[in-house]
Structure 1
Amino acid sequence: MGNSSSRGRSNPRQGHGSKVAPSSPAGEQTMFKWSIDGFSSLLDKGAGWTYSRVFEALGQNWCLKLNPKDKKSGDDKEYVSLRLELANSSVRPDTVVNASFKLLIYDQSFGNHSEHEVSHSFQTASTSSGISCMISLRKLKKQSPKFLLSNCCVFGVEFLKVTTSKANTTSETLFVQKASIFNEAKTYTWDIDDFFAMKNPGYSPEFEVGGYKWNIIMYPSRDGNHLSLYLKLKKTNDLPKDTANLVELTLYIKDQETGKHRKGTGRCQFSKNSRTWGWTKLISLEDFKDSANGFLVKTKCCVVAEVAIVGSSKME
């Protein structure tokens, strides 16, 4: 919920529906007030967003949206939630609108409005302010302050500053190949005779998949309680700067007794600046060293990598 502050005793209920506050001295619209008559009827419709009409302010098109029965995470109370949204058609896709504004819920008798000041960068891909001016439904219904008067509530937004800038956007196109004999997974098995004599981190001998050299890396995680397992691309000389390879990857520690291996599986992109992927906490060291689990038999363990290059991507 926003902080309350005195805003005078003007009556915002003159007329019905949506209306725009008087223009600023400079002639630019900076405020919008939204009166909702029959507020109890809106409550009867339950949770969900209701939108104001689109209005213009400081050169952009906006709308307010209201959820009369919003919820907070881990809270069973109902809240009235107000947000600002930039109209999709208002800006070019490569433009960011940076706005500072106040969201308001008006006290219609004493001027002790509930307000919340927000700064947000709006883009067509992310149009909502994301941050709400919230007030509990129970407080809104109280007699003082009079947020609800004669079954009418008044909401609004006051713009403090709006600027535009060019979006600094990087895009990626991912090309996924059809399954074929040319991108079938290759399996590499790393037999470790003495786990306790292995360096930290331990590197497997290199192996080749898809024309690239790889290693498996194994070491205790940073918390000292788990075993980490990664696949590392050794060299990227043949990989152009703005491209990456999509790799379908499975790493697992073999259960040498029952075949219940501990696995990590994913599709990861390897590039010049991202040459290592894997799992920091693949298995706890306690489970790994427990001889009953079959992962470590005396001093021996076995790690397997299944690797297939299944696509590529290009940055633009």
Structure 2
Amino acid sequence: MRMPYGVPKPLDTPNEEMRGLETWRELPPTHYILKIESFTSLVRILKKTSLDHYESKEFKASGHNWMLLLYPWGDEKRNGSHHISLYLKSMEYYKVEINALVIFFVYDQLKDKYWSIQDKTARNFHGQDESGVSQLVSLKRFEDASNGFLVNDSCVFGVEVFAIRSGNKGERFRTLREQSKSVYIWTVQKFSELKATGHFSEPFSVGGFKWRLHLYPEGIPKAKGKYLSIYLCLHEESESPPGSEKKKQYESQLPSGKRMHVEFKLSINNQVKDKEPKKLSEIGKVWFSAVETAWGFPYFAHLDYLRWRRSDFIYKDALLIELQIISMSLDTSLSPP
């Protein structure tokens, strides 16, 4: 049994302010349990040595060192007479400021449950400060065995400590483009001569970002030979300086931690006036990021249908693709100040 080596500083706030949510639970305290098998012996030893409280061993919780202080007949200096007083003491030897939410526990041995008092607000510790509840439970209630706290001269206390770190993690969502009706038209010439591996449009700018369309005239591998596939892509290629022998560099427009929600509409236009359908269209609502830079439709249009309507949609071996970016919104992770 470890005895106190110092006199506690009177830094506790009034008990009624420190009392928070009182609850019962079956799970034991996560961070530290103090079990006393002979309460009367502890009281006798403390009084014999002219000490008024018992100090637990040091323990680690939430990345800091702590100690539990128990006043078995109450902390008279902080209005705790005739009560059990329980405090948490920071054991950081350097002047470290800690803000923490603290939960104190007393075990009811008859119910086999823990009665707890949880803080309403964070407690502040600086260096070796201490804070707790001076009137945790009255001695009259505690010593009455029918209440379950002190049974066969044994009792159990505990604590959980959750240090609050100023990480300021979060995110900000802002709209870049709202309900735009403007469109980008891509005329794909010599459609029948395009390579099956895909064909890119020229880069174009919308909402402060560069984009390209990627057309697979015979479909991506899982749709190959049956469907035409079209994708909207963030343009990741940065051009090398003229005359440079360096290879083209690829750099994401969306750094790690940023996402962009885009609602867009892709269409293949009927090039014969007053003929239905006027368009074959699909609408996408997707998130772009540094990893996900391309979204689209692997099964955009059945190739048999396009061949059947060849004079309408593939007019003079040209395909007319229309893109409308309806809205763009940026989701950015917040960083600490």
On whether the aligned pair clears a TM of 0.5, the verdict is no
> Which has more radius of gyration?
2
TM-score range, shorter chain: 0.3 to 0.5
TM-score (norm 2): 0.39
